[in-house]
């Protein structure tokens, strides 16, 4: 294992030894290539640079107490990349090619999978881009699929501690019938301004509202929203929300733990009725939200005891982590051991 200060890692880029690549040309994907370069050599007229033909994924691998490396639900990320690619007219790697590339990238960089005790993990970033010269607005004829990895710590600085978020009432990250439900770079570009404003004002991130009526809760920056009240886990149903694999897993765990699960529009006015609120995602895991400010109305909503994650959020967090790190039996079949 590499000699890194694992417990001090934040969510950032660390150079590892190898990445894995495949190129789509003349109707087929090339066999996987291993590269030790951090650079891509692409044509300056590539569609990813001009017309936003780009999709990425994010998933994690964890080292257990037994030293084994466990990969979490990679097939779901593969399927989501296929959906993203279809919508913006890109060729996508098959589920098999995607999972093979992910496993290979982990294996080649095994020494960067953080030790069990550190609580850190290996973040895996698959990337799909349209390449090759293309001047008119049209789908590319060639595509590049790259998988690289980096050891990471918590996404929100606090780790598993309540954070403050602000309601975003000006900017939208996605149009009502646009690309919010898929994982494409344009959504993140559209959300940057709101994110930077939120950070500058001292918030972890911005909570977007639905872009049609501005009445309902949408995404929490790069994570899904959930609220808990009366033993019910509530998460928004909306076409502009990315279907989070973490959230899908939490809904299953919540039901398994005796909570009711509701997926439906969540009006802003409902916020103050929640006992607990959180943001969830691969990078965020669960980030409990302790306070939401609406700068337009001047209203501040507080959840739970100051500085303490809520009871159900803690139970869900512990359960998800136990499955990911192999401390609990994988009864849902979510984990694959990388041999
Ligand atoms: N929402 C957005 C906008 C995201 O970028 C992410 C991260 O992938 C999520 C939600 C959480 O999705 P997942 O749990 O699949 O990582
Ligand atoms: C993830 O949770 O994997 C994300 O993609 C979040 C972000 C870093 C874009």
Ligand 1 near 281 CB (within 6 A): yes
100 assigned to some structural domain: yes
pLDDT at 157: 72
Residues 6 or more apart from 200 whose CB is under 8 A from it?
A: none
Secondary structure element (H or E) that encloses residue 125, with its range: strand 121-131
Q: Are 207 and 189 in contact (CB under 8 A)?
A: no
Backbone angles phi, psi at 60, to 5 degrees: -135, 155
133 and 208 belong to one structural domain: no
- What's 251's domain CATH number? 3.20.10.10
DSSP state of 151: E
For the segment 182-211, what is each residue's pLDDT rounded down to a tens digit? Answer: 999 999 999 999 999 999 999 999 999 999
- In this structure, the answer to whether residues 184 and 141 fall within a common structural domain is no
Split at pLDDT 50, 70, 90, the class of 159 is confident
CA of 28 from ligand 2 middle (Å) equals 29
Which among 76, 78, 72 has a CA at the least distance from the CA of 60? 72
- CB of 242 closer than 6 A to ligand 1? yes
pTM assigned to the model: 0.97
Tens digits of per-residue pLDDT, 51-81?
Answer: 999 999 999 999 999 999 999 999 999 999 9
Sequence-ordered alpha helix ranges (H) in the chain? 47-50, 74-87, 95-108, 185-200, 245-256, 311-325
CA dist 249 and 334 (Å) reads: 9
Range of the domain at 113: 6-152
Is 16 inside any structural domain?
Answer: yes
> Do 144 and 174 reside in the same domain of the chain?
no
CATH number at residue 110: 3.30.470.10
- Whole-angstrom Cα distance, residue 187 to residue 303? 29
Considering the domain architecture, whether residues 88 and 197 belong to the same structural domain is answered as no
Q: How many domains does the chain have?
A: 2
Give the pLDDT score at 205.
96
In a domain, 336, yes or no: no
Tell me which of 222, 245, 320 to substitute to probe ligand 2's pocket, judged by most ligand atoms within 8 Å of the beta carbon: 222
Rounded Cα distance, 262 and 92, in Å: 32
CA 232 to chain centre: 24
């Amino acid at each position: 294992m590499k000699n890194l200060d694992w417990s001090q890692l934040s969510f950032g880029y660390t150079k590892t030894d190898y990445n894995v690549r495949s190129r789509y040309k003349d109707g087929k994907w090339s066999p996987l290539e291993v590269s030790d370069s951090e650079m891509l050599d692409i044509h300056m007229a590539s569609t990813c640079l001009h017309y936003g033909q780009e999709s990425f994924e994010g998933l994690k691998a964890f080292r257990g107490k037994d030293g084994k490396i466990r990969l979490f639900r990679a097939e779901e990320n593969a399927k989501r990349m296929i959906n993203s690619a279809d919508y913006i007219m890109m060729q996508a790697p098959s589920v098999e090619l995607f999972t093979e590339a992910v496993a290979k990238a982990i294996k080649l960089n095994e020494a960067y999978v953080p030790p069990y005790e550190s609580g850190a993990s290996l973040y895996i970033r698959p990337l799909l881009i349209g390449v090759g010269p293309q001047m008119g607005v049209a789908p590319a004829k060639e595509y590049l699929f790259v998988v690289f990895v980096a050891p990471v710590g918590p996404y929100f600085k606090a780790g598993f501690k309540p954070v403050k978020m602000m309601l975003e009432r000006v900017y939208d990250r996605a149009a009502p019938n646009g690309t919010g439900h898929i994982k494409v770079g344009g959504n993140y570009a559209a959300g940057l301004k709101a994110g930077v404003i939120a950070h500058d004002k001292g918030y972890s991130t911005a909570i977007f509202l639905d872009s049609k009526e501005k009445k309902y809760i949408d995404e929490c920056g790069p994570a899904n929203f959930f609220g808990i009240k009366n033993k019910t886990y509530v998460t928004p149903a909306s076409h502009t929300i990315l279907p989070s694999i973490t959230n899908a897993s939490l809904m299953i765990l919540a039901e398994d733990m005796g909570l009711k699960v509701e997926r439906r529009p969540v009006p802003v006015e409902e916020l103050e009725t929640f006992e607990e609120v959180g943001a969830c995602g691969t990078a965020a895991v669960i980030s409990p939200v302790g306070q939401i400010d609406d700068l337009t109305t001047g209203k501040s909503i507080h959840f739970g005891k100051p500085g303490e994650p809520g009871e159900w959020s803690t139970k869900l967090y512990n359960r998800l982590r136990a499955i990911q790190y192999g401390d609990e039996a994988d009864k849902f079949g979510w984990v694959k051991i990388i041999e």
